[in-house]
Amino acid sequence: ELKVEQNPLFLSMQEGKNYTIYCNYSTTSDRLYWYRQDPGKSLESLFVLLSNGAVKQEGRLMASLDTKARLSTLHITAAVHDLSATYFCAVDGTGGGADGLTFGKGTHLIIQP
């Protein structure tokens, strides 16, 4: 069974601080995706990481992928309130040879002034 584990699942932090969300997965997939979801909204694609060592950055968010460790990180630099959301990581496949993505449970991030 393919598993994707995120931690923490809930994070409350102050504006201006740095923090990292971790995503561990059990497959040998070398493709990993990060999504953002605002309450009651759809999922917005943040990053697509397609190879070992891939690093992508946009604004205060930076994502990286280590396929050997089966680990991806989403780093938040100098957090601002607008980054409050739920963040999901996902990997290709669903463990039974099926197409599609397997998602982590999400990290609910609250950034307080």
Q: Does the protein bind another protein through residue 43 (CB under 8 A)?
A: yes
Q: Does the protein bind another protein through residue 42 (CB under 8 A)?
A: yes
Residue that has been written with the tokens 């607008």 in this structure: 82
- Give the nearer residue to another protein in terms of CB position, either 75 or 108: 108
Q: Report the distance separating Cα 81 and Cα 58, nearest Å.
A: 16
Which x/- pattern over 75-104 shows residues binding another protein (rule: CB under 8 A)?
-------------x-x-x-xxx-xxxxxxx
Q: Does the protein bind another protein through residue 3 (CB under 8 A)?
A: no
Look at strands 85-92 and 71-76 and give their pairing.
unpaired
Using left for φ > 0, alpha for ψ between -120 and 50, and beta otherwise, residue 100 falls in left
Q: Does the protein bind another protein through residue 13 (CB under 8 A)?
A: no
Quote the strand ranges of 26-100, DSSP E: 32-37, 43-49, 55-58, 61-66, 71-76, 85-92
Q: Does the protein bind another protein through residue 12 (CB under 8 A)?
A: no
- Give the nearer residue to another protein in terms of CB position, either 15 or 44: 44
Q: Where do contacts with another protein occur on this chain (CB under 8 A)?
A: 4, 31, 33, 41-45, 48, 50, 88, 90, 92, 94-96, 98-106
